[in-house]
Structure 1
Amino acid sequence: MSELHFTSPDGLTIDLRLPEHPTDAVPEYRSTISPRKTTNQHNERAYPLPLPPLPTHTARRFGNPTPVGLGGFLLANTPATIMLPGWHGAGGRNGNESAAIGTFFYLGCLLEILCGIGEWINGETFNAAVFLILGGYFGASGAVMVPFYNAISGYGTDATAAEATYHDSYAMLLIFMGVLLLFFTIASVRLDICHVVLFACFTVCFPCLATSYFYMADGNEATAHTFRIWGGIFSLAGSVILWYLFLGSLLEAVDFPYLLPVGDLSNYVKGRTEYLGRRRHKTSMSCGL
Protein backbone atom coordinates (compact mmCIF):
# COMPACT_ATOMS: atom_id res chain seq x y z
CA MET A 1 0.00 0.00 0.00
CA SER A 2 1.52 3.33 -1.16
CA GLU A 3 0.75 6.61 0.55
CA LEU A 4 0.91 10.13 -0.84
CA HIS A 5 0.81 13.26 1.29
CA PHE A 6 -0.14 16.70 -0.06
CA THR A 7 -0.15 19.97 1.85
CA SER A 8 -1.28 23.35 0.47
CA PRO A 9 -0.18 26.76 1.79
CA ASP A 10 -3.70 27.36 3.06
CA GLY A 11 -3.51 24.43 5.49
CA LEU A 12 -5.34 21.79 3.39
CA THR A 13 -3.77 18.34 3.69
CA ILE A 14 -4.71 15.24 1.72
CA ASP A 15 -3.49 11.72 2.49
CA LEU A 16 -3.99 9.35 -0.45
CA ARG A 17 -3.55 5.60 -0.10
CA LEU A 18 -2.97 3.65 -3.32
CA PRO A 19 -3.18 -0.16 -3.53
CA GLU A 20 -0.12 -2.11 -4.61
CA HIS A 21 -1.98 -3.90 -7.38
CA PRO A 22 -4.26 -2.16 -9.96
CA THR A 23 -7.94 -2.30 -9.08
CA ASP A 24 -11.19 -0.62 -10.07
CA ALA A 25 -11.86 0.41 -6.47
CA VAL A 26 -11.69 4.09 -5.54
CA PRO A 27 -8.46 4.89 -3.63
CA GLU A 28 -8.82 5.70 0.06
CA TYR A 29 -8.14 9.28 1.02
CA ARG A 30 -8.41 11.56 4.03
CA SER A 31 -8.34 15.34 4.03
CA THR A 32 -7.95 17.83 6.86
CA ILE A 33 -7.95 21.62 7.05
CA SER A 34 -5.76 23.46 9.50
CA PRO A 35 -7.25 26.91 10.23
CA ARG A 36 -4.90 29.80 9.72
CA LYS A 37 -5.22 33.43 10.43
CA THR A 38 -5.58 35.33 7.23
CA THR A 39 -5.18 39.01 6.68
CA ASN A 40 -7.00 41.29 4.33
CA GLN A 41 -3.85 41.50 2.21
CA HIS A 42 -3.79 37.72 1.91
CA ASN A 43 -7.43 37.64 0.88
CA GLU A 44 -6.93 40.36 -1.70
CA ARG A 45 -3.88 38.57 -3.07
CA ALA A 46 -5.67 35.23 -3.27
CA TYR A 47 -8.91 36.65 -4.65
CA PRO A 48 -8.11 39.92 -6.45
CA LEU A 49 -11.49 40.00 -8.25
CA PRO A 50 -14.99 39.10 -7.05
CA LEU A 51 -15.92 35.54 -7.98
CA PRO A 52 -18.65 35.21 -10.64
CA PRO A 53 -21.87 33.44 -9.61
CA LEU A 54 -21.95 29.73 -10.30
CA PRO A 55 -24.11 28.76 -13.29
CA THR A 56 -27.28 26.88 -12.50
CA HIS A 57 -29.10 24.29 -14.57
CA THR A 58 -32.30 26.32 -14.44
CA ALA A 59 -30.72 29.32 -16.20
CA ARG A 60 -31.23 28.70 -19.93
CA ARG A 61 -30.88 31.08 -22.80
CA PHE A 62 -33.59 29.37 -24.82
CA GLY A 63 -36.76 27.53 -23.92
CA ASN A 64 -37.44 23.87 -24.62
CA PRO A 65 -38.99 23.61 -28.11
CA THR A 66 -40.20 20.02 -27.64
CA PRO A 67 -43.78 20.85 -26.47
CA VAL A 68 -44.27 23.02 -29.57
CA GLY A 69 -43.24 20.21 -31.89
CA LEU A 70 -45.31 17.63 -30.06
CA GLY A 71 -48.39 19.86 -30.06
CA GLY A 72 -48.04 20.59 -33.77
CA PHE A 73 -47.67 16.92 -34.61
CA LEU A 74 -50.67 15.94 -32.50
CA LEU A 75 -53.01 18.58 -33.94
CA ALA A 76 -52.01 17.60 -37.47
CA ASN A 77 -51.90 13.84 -37.08
CA THR A 78 -54.74 12.98 -34.70
CA PRO A 79 -57.61 14.45 -36.78
CA ALA A 80 -56.09 12.98 -39.95
CA THR A 81 -55.90 9.60 -38.20
CA ILE A 82 -59.63 9.72 -37.46
CA MET A 83 -60.29 10.52 -41.14
CA LEU A 84 -58.64 7.27 -42.22
CA PRO A 85 -61.32 4.86 -40.92
CA GLY A 86 -64.04 7.48 -41.55
CA TRP A 87 -65.42 7.76 -38.04
CA HIS A 88 -68.66 9.79 -37.96
CA GLY A 89 -68.27 10.45 -41.68
CA ALA A 90 -64.81 12.08 -41.32
CA GLY A 91 -62.73 11.79 -44.45
CA GLY A 92 -65.79 11.00 -46.57
CA ARG A 93 -65.58 7.41 -45.31
CA ASN A 94 -62.86 6.76 -47.88
CA GLY A 95 -59.77 8.20 -46.16
CA ASN A 96 -59.91 11.60 -47.87
CA GLU A 97 -57.73 13.98 -45.85
CA SER A 98 -58.34 17.19 -47.81
CA ALA A 99 -59.69 18.89 -44.70
CA ALA A 100 -56.26 18.40 -43.09
CA ILE A 101 -54.32 20.45 -45.68
CA GLY A 102 -54.18 23.50 -43.43
CA THR A 103 -53.13 21.51 -40.35
CA PHE A 104 -50.49 19.68 -42.37
CA PHE A 105 -48.93 22.96 -43.54
CA TYR A 106 -49.25 25.23 -40.53
CA LEU A 107 -49.26 22.83 -37.59
CA GLY A 108 -47.46 19.73 -38.78
CA CYS A 109 -44.95 21.27 -41.18
CA LEU A 110 -44.33 24.76 -39.79
CA LEU A 111 -44.24 23.93 -36.08
CA GLU A 112 -42.24 20.74 -36.61
CA ILE A 113 -39.57 22.60 -38.56
CA LEU A 114 -39.40 25.43 -36.02
CA CYS A 115 -39.11 22.88 -33.23
CA GLY A 116 -36.43 20.96 -35.12
CA ILE A 117 -34.37 24.13 -35.54
CA GLY A 118 -34.74 24.83 -31.82
CA GLU A 119 -33.63 21.30 -30.95
CA TRP A 120 -30.65 21.70 -33.28
CA ILE A 121 -29.68 24.94 -31.53
CA ASN A 122 -29.91 23.15 -28.17
CA GLY A 123 -27.61 20.41 -29.46
CA GLU A 124 -30.26 17.67 -29.53
CA THR A 125 -29.33 15.91 -32.77
CA PHE A 126 -31.80 13.03 -32.56
CA ASN A 127 -34.75 15.26 -31.66
CA ALA A 128 -33.80 17.70 -34.42
CA ALA A 129 -33.70 14.91 -37.00
CA VAL A 130 -37.09 13.54 -35.93
CA PHE A 131 -38.89 16.89 -35.93
CA LEU A 132 -37.33 18.24 -39.13
CA ILE A 133 -37.97 15.06 -41.13
CA LEU A 134 -41.54 14.72 -39.89
CA GLY A 135 -42.11 18.39 -40.63
CA GLY A 136 -40.98 17.80 -44.20
CA TYR A 137 -43.28 14.80 -44.43
CA PHE A 138 -46.31 16.83 -43.35
CA GLY A 139 -45.41 19.49 -45.90
CA ALA A 140 -45.11 16.88 -48.66
CA SER A 141 -48.40 15.24 -47.64
CA GLY A 142 -50.21 18.56 -47.75
CA ALA A 143 -48.66 19.59 -51.06
CA VAL A 144 -49.89 16.56 -53.02
CA MET A 145 -53.47 17.40 -51.98
CA VAL A 146 -53.28 20.97 -53.32
CA PRO A 147 -54.62 21.23 -56.92
CA PHE A 148 -51.87 23.71 -57.78
CA TYR A 149 -49.26 20.95 -57.69
CA ASN A 150 -51.26 18.81 -60.12
CA ALA A 151 -50.16 15.58 -58.44
CA ILE A 152 -52.69 13.22 -60.08
CA SER A 153 -53.17 14.95 -63.42
CA GLY A 154 -49.46 14.73 -64.06
CA TYR A 155 -49.87 11.01 -64.81
CA GLY A 156 -52.06 11.48 -67.90
CA THR A 157 -55.43 12.58 -69.10
CA ASP A 158 -57.18 9.31 -68.30
CA ALA A 159 -58.48 10.02 -64.79
CA THR A 160 -58.82 6.37 -63.75
CA ALA A 161 -55.36 5.33 -64.93
CA ALA A 162 -53.79 8.51 -63.56
CA GLU A 163 -55.33 7.98 -60.13
CA ALA A 164 -54.16 4.35 -60.03
CA THR A 165 -50.61 5.36 -60.96
CA TYR A 166 -50.67 8.11 -58.37
CA HIS A 167 -51.70 5.66 -55.64
CA ASP A 168 -48.93 3.23 -56.58
CA SER A 169 -46.38 6.03 -56.61
CA TYR A 170 -47.43 7.65 -53.34
CA ALA A 171 -47.32 4.26 -51.60
CA MET A 172 -43.56 4.22 -52.19
CA LEU A 173 -43.13 7.26 -49.95
CA LEU A 174 -45.13 5.54 -47.22
CA ILE A 175 -43.00 2.40 -47.45
CA PHE A 176 -39.77 4.30 -46.95
CA MET A 177 -41.36 6.34 -44.17
CA GLY A 178 -41.89 3.01 -42.44
CA VAL A 179 -38.18 2.21 -42.91
CA LEU A 180 -37.28 5.60 -41.47
CA LEU A 181 -39.52 5.07 -38.43
CA LEU A 182 -37.93 1.64 -37.95
CA PHE A 183 -34.54 3.33 -37.66
CA PHE A 184 -36.02 5.81 -35.18
CA THR A 185 -37.34 2.86 -33.17
CA ILE A 186 -33.93 1.23 -33.00
CA ALA A 187 -32.25 4.46 -31.95
CA SER A 188 -34.88 5.19 -29.29
CA VAL A 189 -33.88 2.07 -27.38
CA ARG A 190 -31.35 4.35 -25.71
CA LEU A 191 -34.16 6.67 -24.54
CA ASP A 192 -37.25 5.21 -22.89
CA ILE A 193 -40.08 2.73 -23.34
CA CYS A 194 -42.60 5.37 -24.43
CA HIS A 195 -40.50 6.45 -27.41
CA VAL A 196 -39.81 2.85 -28.43
CA VAL A 197 -43.52 1.97 -28.46
CA LEU A 198 -44.38 5.30 -30.12
CA PHE A 199 -42.01 4.83 -33.06
CA ALA A 200 -42.91 1.13 -33.32
CA CYS A 201 -46.60 2.02 -33.74
CA PHE A 202 -45.86 4.36 -36.62
CA THR A 203 -43.42 1.85 -38.09
CA VAL A 204 -46.38 -0.51 -38.54
CA CYS A 205 -48.79 2.28 -39.51
CA PHE A 206 -46.98 3.40 -42.67
CA PRO A 207 -46.74 -0.06 -44.33
CA CYS A 208 -50.45 -0.55 -43.64
CA LEU A 209 -51.25 2.74 -45.36
CA ALA A 210 -48.94 1.86 -48.25
CA THR A 211 -50.75 -1.46 -48.71
CA SER A 212 -54.05 0.42 -48.67
CA TYR A 213 -52.85 2.63 -51.53
CA PHE A 214 -51.72 -0.42 -53.51
CA TYR A 215 -55.19 -1.97 -53.21
CA MET A 216 -56.79 1.34 -54.15
CA ALA A 217 -54.68 1.35 -57.31
CA ASP A 218 -56.01 -2.14 -58.11
CA GLY A 219 -59.58 -1.01 -57.53
CA ASN A 220 -60.07 -3.25 -54.46
CA GLU A 221 -61.68 -0.66 -52.20
CA ALA A 222 -62.87 -3.15 -49.55
CA THR A 223 -59.39 -4.50 -48.81
CA ALA A 224 -57.94 -1.00 -49.06
CA HIS A 225 -60.42 0.17 -46.43
CA THR A 226 -59.39 -2.70 -44.12
CA PHE A 227 -55.70 -1.78 -44.28
CA ARG A 228 -56.61 1.87 -43.92
CA ILE A 229 -58.41 1.04 -40.67
CA TRP A 230 -55.38 -0.89 -39.38
CA GLY A 231 -53.13 2.01 -40.28
CA GLY A 232 -55.45 4.34 -38.39
CA ILE A 233 -55.45 2.05 -35.34
CA PHE A 234 -51.64 2.02 -35.07
CA SER A 235 -51.49 5.74 -35.77
CA LEU A 236 -54.07 6.39 -33.05
CA ALA A 237 -52.12 4.20 -30.60
CA GLY A 238 -48.98 6.22 -31.32
CA SER A 239 -50.94 9.45 -30.92
CA VAL A 240 -52.19 8.38 -27.47
CA ILE A 241 -48.60 7.84 -26.32
CA LEU A 242 -47.63 11.15 -27.87
CA TRP A 243 -50.39 12.96 -25.96
CA TYR A 244 -48.97 11.40 -22.81
CA LEU A 245 -45.46 12.66 -23.66
CA PHE A 246 -46.89 16.08 -24.51
CA LEU A 247 -48.48 16.35 -21.06
CA GLY A 248 -45.23 15.20 -19.48
CA SER A 249 -43.24 17.87 -21.33
CA LEU A 250 -45.69 20.56 -20.17
CA LEU A 251 -45.43 19.44 -16.55
CA GLU A 252 -41.66 19.54 -16.78
CA ALA A 253 -41.74 22.99 -18.38
CA VAL A 254 -43.68 24.51 -15.45
CA ASP A 255 -41.56 22.65 -12.86
CA PHE A 256 -44.52 20.57 -11.73
CA PRO A 257 -43.82 18.68 -8.48
CA TYR A 258 -44.67 15.34 -10.10
CA LEU A 259 -43.48 14.09 -13.48
CA LEU A 260 -44.95 11.33 -15.61
CA PRO A 261 -42.89 8.13 -15.80
CA VAL A 262 -41.67 7.23 -19.29
CA GLY A 263 -39.69 4.06 -18.56
CA ASP A 264 -36.11 5.26 -18.78
CA LEU A 265 -33.85 2.79 -20.61
CA SER A 266 -30.55 4.68 -20.49
CA ASN A 267 -29.43 2.71 -17.42
CA TYR A 268 -30.02 -0.60 -19.21
CA VAL A 269 -28.63 0.26 -22.65
CA LYS A 270 -25.28 1.91 -22.04
CA GLY A 271 -23.97 4.48 -24.49
CA ARG A 272 -20.92 3.86 -26.67
CA THR A 273 -19.02 6.72 -25.02
CA GLU A 274 -19.57 5.28 -21.57
CA TYR A 275 -18.72 1.77 -22.77
CA LEU A 276 -15.48 2.86 -24.40
CA GLY A 277 -14.64 5.00 -21.37
CA ARG A 278 -14.94 1.97 -19.10
CA ARG A 279 -12.85 -0.17 -21.42
CA ARG A 280 -10.18 2.52 -21.64
CA HIS A 281 -10.16 2.86 -17.85
CA LYS A 282 -9.80 -0.86 -17.28
CA THR A 283 -7.03 -1.13 -19.89
CA SER A 284 -5.03 1.70 -18.36
CA MET A 285 -5.38 0.21 -14.87
CA SER A 286 -4.23 -3.21 -16.05
CA CYS A 287 -1.14 -1.66 -17.62
CA GLY A 288 -0.22 0.02 -14.38
CA LEU A 289 -0.80 3.57 -15.64
Structure 2
Amino acid sequence: MGWGGSTTAANAVLTGPYYLLGGLALVISGVMEWIIGNTFPSVVAITFGGNWLALATIMDPAHGIASTFPSGTSSPDYNKALMFYFAFWTFLTAVYFITSLRSNIALAGVFFNISFANGLNAAGYGELGMGNQTVANALFKAGGAFEFVVVCFAGYLFVALMLESVKMPFGLPLGDLSNALINKKKLS
Protein backbone atom coordinates (compact mmCIF):
# COMPACT_ATOMS: atom_id res chain seq x y z
CA MET A 1 0.00 0.00 0.00
CA GLY A 2 3.06 2.23 -0.12
CA TRP A 3 3.34 2.58 3.65
CA GLY A 4 6.58 4.16 4.79
CA GLY A 5 7.45 4.98 1.19
CA SER A 6 7.85 1.30 0.26
CA THR A 7 7.76 0.26 -3.39
CA THR A 8 7.80 -3.02 -5.28
CA ALA A 9 11.57 -2.56 -5.65
CA ALA A 10 11.84 -3.87 -2.09
CA ASN A 11 10.48 -7.28 -3.19
CA ALA A 12 13.98 -8.67 -3.76
CA VAL A 13 14.56 -8.42 0.00
CA LEU A 14 11.65 -10.81 0.53
CA THR A 15 12.93 -13.53 -1.79
CA GLY A 16 14.41 -15.58 1.08
CA PRO A 17 11.29 -15.45 3.25
CA TYR A 18 9.16 -16.33 0.20
CA TYR A 19 11.28 -19.43 -0.44
CA LEU A 20 11.65 -20.57 3.15
CA LEU A 21 8.74 -19.30 5.23
CA GLY A 22 6.13 -19.04 2.51
CA GLY A 23 7.18 -21.94 0.33
CA LEU A 24 9.09 -24.59 2.21
CA ALA A 25 7.31 -24.20 5.56
CA LEU A 26 3.84 -24.31 3.99
CA VAL A 27 4.61 -27.35 1.85
CA ILE A 28 5.99 -29.19 4.90
CA SER A 29 2.95 -28.23 6.99
CA GLY A 30 0.67 -29.30 4.14
CA VAL A 31 2.31 -32.72 4.03
CA MET A 32 1.93 -33.00 7.81
CA GLU A 33 -1.78 -32.13 7.53
CA TRP A 34 -2.15 -34.75 4.77
CA ILE A 35 -0.51 -37.41 6.98
CA ILE A 36 -3.08 -36.85 9.73
CA GLY A 37 -5.95 -36.83 7.23
CA ASN A 38 -6.81 -33.13 7.11
CA THR A 39 -7.49 -32.76 3.39
CA PHE A 40 -8.65 -29.14 3.21
CA PRO A 41 -5.77 -27.62 5.24
CA SER A 42 -3.33 -29.90 3.40
CA VAL A 43 -4.43 -28.75 -0.05
CA VAL A 44 -4.49 -25.10 1.03
CA ALA A 45 -1.03 -25.22 2.63
CA ILE A 46 0.61 -27.06 -0.27
CA THR A 47 -0.90 -24.83 -2.95
CA PHE A 48 -0.02 -21.66 -1.06
CA GLY A 49 3.48 -23.06 -0.48
CA GLY A 50 3.75 -23.56 -4.22
CA ASN A 51 2.48 -20.02 -4.76
CA TRP A 52 5.20 -18.53 -2.56
CA LEU A 53 7.87 -20.69 -4.21
CA ALA A 54 6.66 -19.55 -7.62
CA LEU A 55 6.64 -15.88 -6.62
CA ALA A 56 10.12 -16.23 -5.08
CA THR A 57 11.39 -17.76 -8.31
CA ILE A 58 9.84 -14.99 -10.41
CA MET A 59 11.33 -12.24 -8.23
CA ASP A 60 14.70 -13.89 -7.54
CA PRO A 61 17.35 -11.92 -9.45
CA ALA A 62 19.41 -15.12 -9.74
CA HIS A 63 16.77 -16.57 -12.09
CA GLY A 64 16.61 -13.44 -14.23
CA ILE A 65 13.07 -14.13 -15.41
CA ALA A 66 12.24 -10.46 -16.00
CA SER A 67 15.43 -10.03 -18.03
CA THR A 68 14.12 -12.48 -20.64
CA PHE A 69 11.57 -9.86 -21.67
CA PRO A 70 12.61 -6.89 -23.86
CA SER A 71 11.54 -4.27 -21.29
CA GLY A 72 12.03 -6.39 -18.16
CA THR A 73 9.26 -5.94 -15.60
CA SER A 74 7.80 -3.15 -17.76
CA SER A 75 7.23 -5.55 -20.65
CA PRO A 76 3.54 -6.02 -21.54
CA ASP A 77 4.02 -9.79 -21.90
CA TYR A 78 5.62 -10.07 -18.45
CA ASN A 79 2.74 -8.20 -16.82
CA LYS A 80 0.05 -10.05 -18.79
CA ALA A 81 1.54 -13.36 -17.61
CA LEU A 82 1.32 -12.15 -14.01
CA MET A 83 -2.25 -11.01 -14.69
CA PHE A 84 -3.22 -14.55 -15.70
CA TYR A 85 -1.34 -16.01 -12.73
CA PHE A 86 -3.24 -13.83 -10.26
CA ALA A 87 -6.52 -14.44 -12.13
CA PHE A 88 -6.02 -18.16 -11.53
CA TRP A 89 -5.35 -17.46 -7.85
CA THR A 90 -8.53 -15.37 -7.70
CA PHE A 91 -10.50 -18.42 -8.83
CA LEU A 92 -8.63 -20.77 -6.48
CA THR A 93 -9.03 -18.57 -3.40
CA ALA A 94 -12.72 -18.06 -4.23
CA VAL A 95 -13.11 -21.86 -4.17
CA TYR A 96 -11.24 -21.92 -0.86
CA PHE A 97 -13.60 -19.23 0.46
CA ILE A 98 -16.68 -21.25 -0.48
CA THR A 99 -15.28 -24.42 1.08
CA SER A 100 -14.13 -22.54 4.20
CA LEU A 101 -17.77 -21.73 4.93
CA ARG A 102 -17.80 -25.15 6.66
CA SER A 103 -15.00 -24.14 9.07
CA ASN A 104 -14.98 -20.76 10.84
CA ILE A 105 -15.44 -17.04 10.28
CA ALA A 106 -11.74 -16.24 10.72
CA LEU A 107 -10.64 -18.61 7.96
CA ALA A 108 -13.50 -17.54 5.70
CA GLY A 109 -12.40 -13.94 6.27
CA VAL A 110 -8.90 -14.81 5.09
CA PHE A 111 -10.13 -16.39 1.85
CA PHE A 112 -12.83 -13.78 1.18
CA ASN A 113 -10.31 -10.95 1.35
CA ILE A 114 -7.45 -12.73 -0.43
CA SER A 115 -9.84 -13.44 -3.31
CA PHE A 116 -10.43 -9.71 -3.74
CA ALA A 117 -6.73 -8.95 -3.32
CA ASN A 118 -5.82 -11.46 -6.02
CA GLY A 119 -8.48 -10.08 -8.35
CA LEU A 120 -7.26 -6.53 -7.87
CA ASN A 121 -3.64 -7.62 -8.38
CA ALA A 122 -4.64 -9.45 -11.58
CA ALA A 123 -6.36 -6.29 -12.81
CA GLY A 124 -3.35 -4.21 -11.81
CA TYR A 125 -0.97 -6.38 -13.82
CA GLY A 126 -3.41 -6.23 -16.73
CA GLU A 127 -3.32 -2.44 -16.59
CA LEU A 128 0.48 -2.49 -16.41
CA GLY A 129 0.47 -4.68 -19.49
CA MET A 130 -1.50 -1.97 -21.27
CA GLY A 131 0.82 0.76 -19.99
CA ASN A 132 -1.65 2.28 -17.53
CA GLN A 133 0.71 2.83 -14.58
CA THR A 134 -1.60 5.20 -12.66
CA VAL A 135 -4.58 2.83 -12.79
CA ALA A 136 -2.33 -0.13 -11.97
CA ASN A 137 -0.95 1.65 -8.91
CA ALA A 138 -4.48 2.36 -7.64
CA LEU A 139 -5.47 -1.28 -8.16
CA PHE A 140 -2.34 -2.52 -6.39
CA LYS A 141 -2.99 -0.15 -3.49
CA ALA A 142 -6.57 -1.44 -3.18
CA GLY A 143 -5.26 -5.02 -3.40
CA GLY A 144 -2.78 -4.17 -0.65
CA ALA A 145 -5.63 -2.94 1.55
CA PHE A 146 -7.41 -6.28 1.14
CA GLU A 147 -4.12 -8.06 1.87
CA PHE A 148 -3.79 -6.04 5.07
CA VAL A 149 -7.24 -7.28 6.12
CA VAL A 150 -6.05 -10.83 5.29
CA VAL A 151 -3.09 -10.34 7.62
CA CYS A 152 -5.46 -9.19 10.38
CA PHE A 153 -7.72 -12.24 10.00
CA ALA A 154 -4.76 -14.61 9.62
CA GLY A 155 -3.00 -13.10 12.64
CA TYR A 156 -6.12 -13.54 14.75
CA LEU A 157 -6.47 -17.14 13.53
CA PHE A 158 -2.79 -17.80 14.27
CA VAL A 159 -3.06 -16.52 17.84
CA ALA A 160 -6.27 -18.51 18.42
CA LEU A 161 -4.68 -21.73 17.13
CA MET A 162 -1.47 -21.19 19.12
CA LEU A 163 -3.46 -20.64 22.32
CA GLU A 164 -5.38 -23.85 21.63
CA SER A 165 -2.22 -25.82 20.78
CA VAL A 166 -0.75 -25.26 24.25
CA LYS A 167 -4.12 -25.76 26.00
CA MET A 168 -4.30 -22.26 27.46
CA PRO A 169 -7.16 -21.80 29.93
CA PHE A 170 -8.55 -19.09 27.65
CA GLY A 171 -8.91 -18.73 23.91
CA LEU A 172 -10.22 -16.62 21.10
CA PRO A 173 -13.53 -17.40 19.41
CA LEU A 174 -13.20 -18.28 15.73
CA GLY A 175 -16.88 -18.19 14.83
CA ASP A 176 -17.71 -21.85 14.20
CA LEU A 177 -19.46 -22.39 10.87
CA SER A 178 -19.42 -26.20 10.86
CA ASN A 179 -23.20 -26.37 11.26
CA ALA A 180 -24.10 -23.26 9.28
CA LEU A 181 -24.71 -25.20 6.06
CA ILE A 182 -26.69 -28.40 5.61
CA ASN A 183 -24.53 -31.49 5.14
CA LYS A 184 -24.53 -33.07 1.70
CA LYS A 185 -25.88 -36.33 3.16
CA LYS A 186 -28.94 -34.53 4.51
CA LEU A 187 -29.71 -33.11 1.07
CA SER A 188 -29.93 -36.56 -0.56
- Give the TM-score range, shorter chain: over 0.9
Question: What SS is found at the alignment partner of 1:264?
Answer: coil
> Is 1:110 the equivalent of 2:18?
no
What do residues 56-76 of structure 1 show as CA deviations (whole Å, max 9, x unaligned)?
A: xxxxxxxxxxxxxxxxxxxxx
1:126 to 40, 61, 71: 40
Q: 2:117 aligns with which of 191, 202, 205?
A: 205
Q: Structure 1 residue 201: deviation in Å?
A: 0.2
Using the aligned pairs only, state the percent identity: 28
Greater relative contact order: 1 or 2 (C-alpha under 8 angstroms, separation 6 or more)? 2
**CA spacing shift, 1:95–1:161, aligned 2, 3 Å:** closer
Distance in 1, matches of 2:182 and 2:71, equals 55
**CA 1:232 to 1:95, structure 2 compared with 1: closer, same or farther past 3 Å?**
farther
CA contact (8 A) 2:73 2:79 kept: no
What 5-or-longer segments of structure 2 have no aligned partner?
A: none
> Could you say if the C-alpha distance between residues 137 and 185 of structure 1 is closer, same or farther in structure 2, counting changes exceeding 3 Å?
same
Q: Is the 8 A contact 2:66 2:72 kept in 1?
A: no
Which AA in structure 2 matches 1:86?
Answer: G
* Letter in structure 2 aligned against 1:146: D
Deviation at 1:131, TM superposition (A): 0.2
Q: Does the aligned pair in 2 maintain the 1:192–1:264 contact within 8 Å?
A: yes
Mapped partners of 1:268, 1:201: distance in 2: 20
Q: If each structure's helix is expressed as a fraction of its own residues, which one has the higher value?
A: 2
In the alignment, which residue of structure 2 is the partner of 1:90? 6
Structure 1 residues 160, 132: CA separation in 2 closer, same or farther (over 3 Å shift)?
closer
Q: Give 1:197 shift.
A: 1.7
Aligned-pair CA distance for 1:161: 9.1
**What are the ranges of 5 or more consecutive residues in structure 1 without an aligned counterpart?**
1-84, 280-289
Q: Is residue 2:23 matched to residue 1:100?
A: no
Alignment match, 1:184: 96
RMSD: 1.8
CA contact (8 A) 1:143 1:149 kept: yes
Q: Which amino acid aligns with 1:241?
A: F
> What secondary structure is seen at the aligned counterpart in 2 of 1:144?
helix
Paired with 2:114 and 2:176, the residues of 1 have a C-alpha distance of 20
Is 1:241 aligned to 2:157, yes or no? no
1:104 deviates by: 0.3
Cα distance in 1 for partners of 2:75, 2:178 equals 47
CA contact (8 A) 2:66 2:73 kept: no
What is the distance in 2 between the residues matched to 1:163 and 1:188? 37
Q: 2:67 aligns with which of 130, 153, 159?
A: 153
Matched to 2:108, the amino acid is: V
Q: Note if contact 2:72-2:78 (Cα within 8 Å) is conserved in structure 1.
A: no
Count residues in correspondence: 188
State the structure with more CA Rg: 1
CA distance in 1, matches of 2:99, 2:9: 31
Distance 1:185 1:104 in 2: 23
2:101 is paired with a residue whose SS is helix
Normalised by the length of structure 2, the TM-score is: 0.93
Considering fraction of residues, name the structure with more strand: 1
